[in-house]
Structure 1
Amino acid sequence: MKVSIIGTTGYGGAELLRILKQHPEFDIQSIHSTKEDIPIWNEYPHLYEIIENKLQKIDADQIADQSDIVFLATPSGISGKLASEFAGKNIKVIDLSGDLRIPAEKYREWYKQEPAQPGLVEEAVYGLSEWNHEKIKDANLVANPGCYPTASLLGLLPVVKAGIINPSSIVIDAKSGVSGAGRSLTRNTSFSEANENFRVYKVNEHQHTPEIEQQLLNWNNDIKPITFTTHLLPITRGIMTTSYVQLETEQSTRQLLELYKEMYSGHPFIRIRPENNFPSVKEVAGSNYCDIGLHADPRTGRLTIVAVIDNLMKGAAGQAVQNANIMYGMKENIGLDFVPLYP
């Protein structure tokens, strides 16, 4: 299948290139940006003599004529407009931005931008690969989940779906590496501000909050608003979410681990850690894995859920390719069997 990527100069687009270059079924047909007619290695010198494609202008008609699928790796506020240009054309679309994940009124409130066309948002299938496989398989338009929601939801959904937690008790403490903020320089992500520092940001205001709540409500109508706090880590890649929930009845860690293993059986990228073993972000770097560790505290009746992902892989480009694999009826892990980088 022939693939086009719009937004290849950002980190998500660069990660798509890394994955798709060695994918056995997808061939990179074209790459697109507002910059034109320069080789991609001018932006990313590590691609010199590996990927020679030049950046091309964005022409939806031409892209739809020459490719089977297009990845939109552009910022929120732009992808929604691009998705509308591909509507009705014979091409599948995967959007890595937040434009198609939540309804218009929520988008306007949390993203502070004008939303995409309501019809597009309604058509888009939410691409949380492990939990929405059947709908993704039949989709022509997929809204790829955000990085924080991916880690948060993969950790929480088994107990939410099982209905064994207090629906008003969810607290998510989330941390991300600086690449999650994108390639554009800001004060907080500059070296002198981020290095040897640990910063909380967007307290109770992060735009991924309604996305997480929306999906939790899909599995349990009793879920109440969550507390979601985000922090910036002085690392390049990685997300860790530590979620706290109150159990409705006494459950042992061993019982809950069995629940998670059963629910994620057959899903190649979810690794449930053994009892008293908890993942760290470095242990999934450069891979599409999500590692989950659990501990049920008999003293407080609370369950602690630790989930880690690489924000550019499972949190963005890796999950996007995983969804493309599903859309074309391939095994989910084709082209994504990267062993994590270590150290």
Structure 2
Amino acid sequence: MLKAGFFISFLIISTVVAGQQARLNSDTEFKERTYSYAERELEYLMEIWHGEYDNVEQLDFDKIADREGDHDRVHSIVKRIKNPAFGVYAVYVETYLNNDPSRLLRQTIYQLSANKNGKIINVKPLHFRSKKPYLALNKEINSLMDKLKPDSPNLEEVCQMVLQREGMDFVMKAVDDKCESTSTKKTKQQVELLINKDNFWFKPIASTEQKSFYQQEKARCFTCMIDFPNKTNGRPTITKYYIDILDQGGFFDFDYPDRRHMVLGMRNTWSFGMQRETFVIFIQEGSQKGKTLVYSWGNPGADRIGFNPGWIRVQCDLTSKKNSKLQRGLRPDS
């Protein structure tokens, strides 16, 4: 019995040692992927570029400087796409005007790749010939992207661009300012882009009218619950709305129980009184140009904000599955 037990133990130890040796050999043979400088920059760009952006703050400063009308209100949505036909690094961008998703200014896929020398990033912009909003209407784009290829009939290559870092910014410029359409050979207006972790700016290149950037700032999404006074049961308030709103000029129209129309707004704006950036939510009567009925402010970057003046209660939390579940758990039967 002792010999048999010893033999079994020997077999077990031998198997473990062999397994460990095999893993060591495998680890020795494994080669970590090496990245060029340009590829590392692209990896970082993919991390920071996606999201939503708006220039609502720029319009306020245009007005203060008596330059109202210099820029339209623009909103951009950026999403990385994973379609092998466009390579490892590709993003899809929708930009629309004046809070109206049907007024698409630009719908583009940017195909990015590292130059052979590993120091320059080449960019191929592909504009949609027939523009149609997707992300702006909260539609998923996976099925759309899966069907596309760079030579798809609805995509038009305008001109080559290059991307390079300037300090903390990435700047994308056309190789040739006079970009020609590949199909019509007519000059097409191209844009210069500036991207960093908080901003996405763009400026038409060959434009005599537009000389400065559209300065879009990155927006964060908040989930809010709007409560009204309640007289039907024991709770003082009842939740009427659960909404998502962006902190760069986001808004939500609703009707108060007395049938007055109101608008909830959210901004990150400059406070001239406090001389600093301020995170603020507010309710206006009638429209976005109406009288401010109540407002509350906090520090930029805060993940929660709200107010309760008695006649309405608003609580906004940075959007996450946890916070959404928490809010609905506070009012399970509303």
Which TM-score tier does this pair reach, normalised by the shorter chain?
under 0.3
Q: Where is the helix percentage greater, Structure 1 or Structure 2? A: 1
* Structure possessing the higher relative contact order (Cα contacts under 8 Å, 6 or more residues apart): 1
Give 1 or 2 for the bigger CA radius of gyration.
Answer: 2
